[in-house]
Structure 1
């Protein structure tokens, strides 16, 4: 009687061993997740670099306090000015402060040597990342220089152009890797599921011979594929979270690049991807076996 129960349990429709399939699918999703974390941190690093790029807005000499405040308000109202906690990222540096900083850095007293302060009052302005393209920067520069009382607007053009060029190259490389990895993961999960279902091909044919419809045969396999993909996605997400938490404890500076909202989106995407890939791979494999002749099953 015990042997008969084991036999029936083994032959139950859709009850193929899934431990190896879940393990393989989890590893495949984990690879995608690790690369996704790399992309997210690279994007955050790029944003951080851009947010720390600055424009120097030099003012005309003998500027009155009222005119300086007016220019500050104009810059704060511009769409290109970065905001942090609804505070415009504008910093005023007086010519006296600039001369003091120059003396501390170089050890040379330009004011004492020339008899006057050759420097100008200036606003240090941070832009929104969307405006750090070369064309946008030139438009911003021209717009600011049209403001009455502004003498000159400068920025490190070569550095910004180099950053933009490298960001474009890195973005294309990462996009290429993402596409390749997605294809590899889909093929790997598809083949894993196909091998797992291979042992069920005769049972599928037996069900067909007793009059079971294709829908009835597919249903238990598809149901199991959904929770199999869900489990794989959850395991991959949990492992990624543990790896990320451990990494942050070892490299605290890396936490500056963390974006919890995007991390949650990545984990959710892994779960959804696991379900979708597992479902359609199972459906494709089942349809293949349903259409096979008896000779092809051997």
Structure 2
């Protein structure tokens, strides 16, 4: 009978630990998915921003040395992703391909200008930055016009801000829910040991001494839960990378490493805080209150 009861208690304890690990793993896995969404949303937004082209049209009398120096200065600037010189002949050829006929035969001359197609790094693609750059470039005497799709830049910036805001709200809400769920699982596991806690307290054990094994155990459970979540997240990443290589999910390992570290630390931190307050609650209860 004694062995049977002992085995039952052991199975109950393992079941309690398993439920805590599973709860932590599921919640942290969802947080990891949201983190991946945040990272890749920024990647996609940056990709679209860097496709915006600023066309710098040059006057016919612009000297070759001036054009070369301008292109060199643009390439050396920290805001520049690329600066490609496009001759009027190349521009005419591209335009003819787009419209399906040679417009020069109809006009009798090439009205297009030599130009430099400038693309900026994503962080600098804002209406203010581009307006400032366009104004500075337009002051040069050999530049005829600086052209870009101003409404598109404004719309893109607004949409990126809006999406980032709602993702931030979703992250905050999900993190709060994660804390509540993990806290509830840990409190339930400690609730089953409330009489042991009170017995230890009655025989003279200090609160710190009583809390220590519970905190250490649940920190370990938090670590196991975090590792389980990270393994599942890695599996999802590997599957997506194999089927959608264009996403380049493993390209930025630094950000991915930071996300993994954040999930692991969050699992430990939430377990630590939840265990501390859960044990503190039962330590402060009177003996007769343990039955309710």
1:141 aligns with 2:134: yes
The equivalent residue for 1:193 is 186
Structure 1's unaligned 5+ residue stretches are 83-88
Counterpart of 2:112 in structure 1 is 119
1:86 is matched with which residue?
Answer: none
Distance change in 2, residues 1:124/1:140 (3 Å): same
Structure 1 segment 52-201 matched on structure 2, within 5 A: 52-82=51-81, 89-201=82-194
State the partner residue of 2:28: 29
Answering whether residue 203 of structure 2 is matched by residue 210 of structure 1, we say yes
CA distance in 2, matches of 1:121, 1:147: 15
Tell me if the contact between 2:237 and 2:249 (Cα under 8 Å) persists in the aligned partners: no
1:182–1:169: structure 2 CA closer, same or farther, 3 Å change rule?
same
Distance of 1:43 and 1:75 partners within structure 2? 25
- In structure 2, what is the Cα distance between the partners aligned to 1:113 and 1:257? 52
TM superposition shift of 1:148: 3.3
Query: What's the offset of the Cα at 1:240?
Result: 0.3
CA distance in 1, matches of 2:155, 2:191: 54
Q: Deviations over 1:88-128 (max 9, x none)?
A: x1111100011011111112322222221100001011112
Cα drift, residue 78 of structure 1:
3.0
Q: Secondary structure at the match of 2:80?
A: coil
Equivalent-residue separation in structure 1 for 2:287 and 2:188 (angstroms): 18
For the aligned residues, what is the CA RMSD? 2.1
Could you say what secondary structure the match of 2:248 adopts? helix
Give the distance between the partners of 2:209 and 2:127, measured in 1 at CA.
Answer: 61
Q: How far apart in 2 are the matches of 1:109 and 1:219?
A: 82
With normalisation by structure 1, the TM-score equals 0.91
1:10-43, CA deviations, whole angstroms, 9 ceiling, x for partnerless residues?
A: 5xxx999311100111111111111111111111
Answering whether residue 86 of structure 2 is matched by residue 50 of structure 1, we say no
Q: So what's the TM-score if we normalise by structure 2? A: 0.93
Distance 1:258 1:44 in 2: 11
Deviations 1:145-200 (A, max 9, x none): 12231111111111111111111110111111011001100000001100011110
What SS class does the counterpart of residue 116 from structure 2 fall into?
strand
Question: Are the counterparts in 2 of residues 51 and 127 from structure 1 also a CA contact under 8 Å?
Answer: yes
1:282 to 258, 275, 280: 275
Distance 1:135 1:240 in 2: 39
Instruction: Report if aligned partners of 2:241, 2:249 keep a CA contact under 8 Å in 1.
Output: no
Q: CA deviation at 1:233?
A: 0.9
Q: Is the 8 A contact 2:50 2:125 kept in 1?
A: no
Query: In terms of mean alpha carbon deviation, does 169-178 or 66-75 score higher?
Result: 66-75
* Aligned 8 A contact 1:45 1:257 in 2: no
1:231 corresponds to which residue?
224
How far apart, CA to CA, are the structure 2 residues paired with 1:73 and 1:260?
Answer: 32
Cα distance in 1 for partners of 2:229, 2:161 equals 30
